[in-house]
A and B are shown apart, each in its own frame.
Chain A
Amino acid sequence: MMGLDTPRVRAVVRKELRDYRRKRSIVATMIILPLVFLIEPVVTIFLAPSAEAGSSLNTYVVIPLLYLLLLPVIIPSTLAAYTVVGEREQGTLEPLLTTPIRQQEFIVGKAAAVMIPSALLSYVVIGIFLIAVELFARARISSAIFHQGPILLALFLFTPLLAGWAIVVGMAISVRASEVRVAQQLGMLASLPIIGVVFLLAVGVIHPTFPAALLFALGILMLDTVALRIVSRMFNRERLVTGVKAAGT
């Protein structure tokens, strides 16, 4: 992969963020969706019986935390699915492809533009949740949550990595999709593997430990990197413009 031209990548990011900010549906979705996701963990935590102990208490604590891991996957999926097919639908893709921008720069710029608000929002929601727990939850519950070190570490580490995964999958679908709506629906598939992992953690098949959290983070990072390269290769100008892949490319 050739070196990236940073000003071009920065230009893509700046333009995307401007565009998001001015599209009310995007702003609304990005604000409402995390708040909806906050309801379930908050209700679970605040309705947890005070007398629970041991493994029962863990269930009340661990599952809401794991639930928050879905945030960085869900938030960017809509935006990521829009990245390429959206440009094509609004007729801006062809002028863009006629510029000297390289496909890696385009992909990285688009991915970064989705990543920044998604990761920030996820961290903000997680932060709000933890502050609310600290301030308003029963002391026993609050204490139990802040003693889930591996899961808290996972929340911190996994947020950008899982967002990256969702973005790359969403973009891969966006490169191939013919319509924004189809891309957005298929983009939700990106969350399936994550839901699977959360389920395995919840039922105790995978035990949340610090080494496991670090190992998983490393694994997701590698997965993201490989997936990003694959998406870059999928980005074929001829196919994007004509719908037909160039022979021999």
Chain B
Amino acid sequence: MTATALVRISRRSSGSAQPSLGRSWKVVVDGNIVGTITRGQLLDIRVEPGPHTIHVQSMRLLRSPSVSFDASAVQVVGLECHARSEGVLFQGRLFWLLASLCKHDIWIFLDPDESVEPFENSETATRVDSLRPSSFLPAAARINTPPRDGPEGEPALVVDRLTKRFGARTAFSDVSFEVAHGEVFGFLGPNGAGKTTTVRTLGTLIVPTSGSACVAGIPLTPENEGEIRQRISIMPEAPGLYLRLSVTENLEYFAALYGLHPAGTRIKDALDAVNLADRADDLCGGLSKGLRQRVGLARTLMSDPAIMFLDEPTSGLDPVAAREVHDLIIGLRQKGVTIFLTTHRLDEAEKLCDRVAILNTTLRTVGRPAELRAQLFQGALLLKTVKPLSDAEQLFSQIADVESWRSDEPGSYVLSVSDPNATAPEVVRALVGAGADVLSVGEAQHSLEDIYLQLVNEDVEVRSS
């Protein structure tokens, strides 16, 4: 057994002396993200003896405080803080009290007395041990949910049996899913499926009829609406800019509403992130639709949100503008921003999202596109020969794994199999043995569109029957 150092990282629960600091901070140990902390939360990590570097990063738009230390000696090697984002490192348990009296926004504690089991194999750097509540934290901020979907800690978004009805009309019903930190989550569905209403509900604009949700670690209740709105940002389908104000003036307004002071750097960073710095003084009314959408994205980025809700961000854009928005979202994903993306563009979801949910008033499915393909469609091999097979039925019936086959055109065959990769060599051998000239053999790929249409058409069939 080797003693490991316990490092505790926390943000003040209230009364921040640094209101310009972001709402959600990524904790990086030796270059690996180990979790996120939001105001009032505590993150414990354990590291093996040796030199380590901790970065506590706001959402990439800002530089961040960092600290290097040697866990074997439990001694601070150095501390570097950005001028606007003070961080401080305390050593030992006695400093809990001292820390609580200070006005620093980020606390990093080293506890040399804490000895724990060593981590198994190579997980050390990326493992989050727990999010343990501390006695000085408010109860609402204590989160004990185990990490899910990767090393990021508790889910960014938890939705449990959420339902919204407007009188007799049901907008969405019994919707449950989780979104992990740093995930791009696609929310798909036909028009009127309830996507936008779901986003508005999670964004505290609409009160759910039943069910519960936890948004950015905060329970979705009327009392918490303000706090939730502070931690998330939503870009509606239309960016909703003040057309007689300049880009900067629009952003200044929203920066003030989010309490971001001073706003200048934030605005500059946000505009840089969406490549709009050179249009900062242009009136929004003079911008193209694509550029307005970028301003909308800059606005959502500016507040350093724990979750970004993007409601059909490419709706109505031409392909070039849509591509630009896609590139921005891909850039944000690479930086670990949690994005909830509603769209009915399946190519967009396939390209951008880690996981997708398909909603048609009720949630039809949730998963990675590849998983959904496997769930919904049987494996298939697509093979092509130079000439049509003389007796395809006899040939394919000899192969045990081929459950059925069909030919859509001469020389082209689709074979239903349980495991395409395992069956392919056997099929090739059989074809060669039969003297067929094989052009190609490959696994038939089902697109997200196939999945979507399969599920939505099922709904249509159920309704019509």
Taking Cβ atoms with an 8 Å cutoff, the residues of A that contact B are: 5, 7-8, 10-11, 14-15, 18-19, 22-23, 90-102, 237-238, 241-242, 244, 246-249
Contacts and interface: CB of A to CB of B under 8 A. Distances in A.
Given A237-B205, A238-B205, A246-B207, A99 B258 contact: yes
B253 to A, nearest CB: 5
Nearest to A2: B226
B249 interface: yes
Contacts of B53: none
A8 to B, nearest CB: 6
B136 interface: no
Contacts of A101: 257
Contacts of B77: none
B189 interface: no
A98 B236 CA distance: 9
Nearest to A236: B207
B205 A22 contact: no
Interface of B: 166-167, 197, 200, 203-207, 209, 222, 226, 229-230, 232-236, 238-245, 249, 252-254, 256-259, 261, 296, 299
A242 B256 contact: no
29 contacts: A5-B259, A7-B259, A7-B261, A8-B256, A11-B257, A15-B249, A19-B242, A22-B244, A92-B240, A93-B240, A94-B205, A95-B234, A95-B236, A95-B254, A95-B296, A96-B257, A97-B205, A98-B204, A98-B205, A98-B236, A99-B254, A100-B258, A101-B257, A237-B204, A242-B197, A242-B206, A244-B167, A246-B206, A249-B207
B200 A241 contact: yes
Contacts of B256: 7-8, 10-11
A92 B242 contact: yes
A204 to B, nearest CB: 48
A48 B407 CA distance: 102
A139 to B, nearest CB: 49
Contacts of B230: 100
Given A92-B241, A93-B240, A99-B229, A11 B253 contact: yes
Contacts of A95: 234-236, 239-240, 254, 296, 299
Given A11-B253, A11-B257, A19-B245, A247 B203 contact: no
B209 A19 contact: no
Sorted nearest first, the 3 A-B pairs with minimum C-beta distance are: A11-B256, A95-B240, A99-B257
Given A11-B253, A90-B243, A101-B257, A241 B206 contact: yes
A97 B257 CA distance: 10
Nearest to B229: A100
A98 B203 contact: yes
Contacts of B200: 241-242
